[in-house]
Amino acid sequence: MATDNNLVPNNMNLKPEDFQKIGMDEKEAEVIQRESLSAWKDSWQRLRQNKMAMTALGILGLIVLAAIIAPLFSKYNYYSNDLMNTNKPPSSDHWFGTDDLGRDIFVRTWYGARISLIVGLAAAAIDLFIGVIYGGIMGYFGGRVDNIMNKFSEILYSIPYLLVVILLLVVLEPSLGTIILALTITGWITMSWIVRGEIMQLKNREFVLASRSMGAGSARLLFKHLLPNAVGPIIVTITLSVPNAIFAEAFLSFLGLGVQAPIASLGSMINDSLTGWLYYPWRFLFPAILISLTMLSFNIFGDGLRDALDPKLKK
């Protein structure tokens, strides 16, 4: 084979030691540069990098903790009247002041936060249970089953939500259980549609077809394979549904359809304070700040959780 004298000069003596490997050593190439992470660990790391979401999670933790233990640090309760100390401003004795019946607003505010959190979490849990099962059945079976079930949910969703809630609260005796029931009559529909869409995308994947070919039944495919792979959107939806339920409870209590006196609720406390909020602003200020902070924290944390669980944002 001919050689090009311009490329290899005649006076150059090449030796074996002149040739060296360029690049990474074999041992260095085998070193794992990044730890292998599961999808949940990777999502958790990205969530931790979201400072706003973690701050919102910390605020929610403090609110839940304060709603549980804060009333224990006061000598007052939420229902005792003291007509000698009505409309007192915040002081060392009454940290948030008193209302028009002399009741301690500090205790009533945190007790009202407890009621709001119970309603929000309970309604979200019921929406999760009904919506996941209903939406999973729609998405998995499809066809006529999906059409009938989807039409039923659309008809139910077309009925004005507030009308359904008010009618139920008027027919039944207003109580905490009635409020939760009223909030969940149509609250699960959004969850079911989200689950339905996720299941319809997943049910034709290879791992589902492989499980079906090995004899897996419909229940096993749905609850062991499909729903666990749709858990990301489910968690995000349930996180964002809690503040909606809290706001709905506060709105109903504001209208006088929520929990009845002397039980405290943030919505009922705001309603009671409207008559004299210009003269006694502390009666309105503390419940309004707490419910706003709770809803804002839930929404910020839900947005951060959605970004962390989104596979498109994985690096």
305, 236 contact by CB (below 8 A): yes
Percent of the chain predicted with pLDDT > 70: 85
139, 197 contact by CB (below 8 A): yes
Average pLDDT over residues 57-70: 91
Q: Tell me, what's the pLDDT at 2?
A: 47
Give the 3-state DSSP-derived string for 225-260, with helices as H, strands as E and coil as C: HHHHHCHHHHHHHHHHHHHHHHHHHHHHHHCCCCCC
Lowest mean pLDDT, pick from 22-31, 131-140, 167-176, 232-241: 22-31
φ and ψ at 5, to 5 degrees?
-65, -25
Average pLDDT over residues 114-126: 89
The pLDDT confidence band at residue 26, using thresholds 50, 70 and 90, is low
Q: Tell me, what's the pLDDT at 65?
A: 93
Q: Tell me, what's the pLDDT at 151?
A: 92
As a whole number, the mean pLDDT across the chain is 81
Q: What CATH fold (topology level) applies to the domain 57-78+107-313?
A: MetI-like fold (1.10.3720)
Average pLDDT over residues 287-315: 80
Domain residue spans in the chain?
57-78+107-313
- Residue with the larger pLDDT of the pair 165 and 36: 165
Q: Tell me, what's the pLDDT at 62?
A: 93
Lowest mean pLDDT, pick from 27-36, 97-106, 288-297, 304-313: 27-36
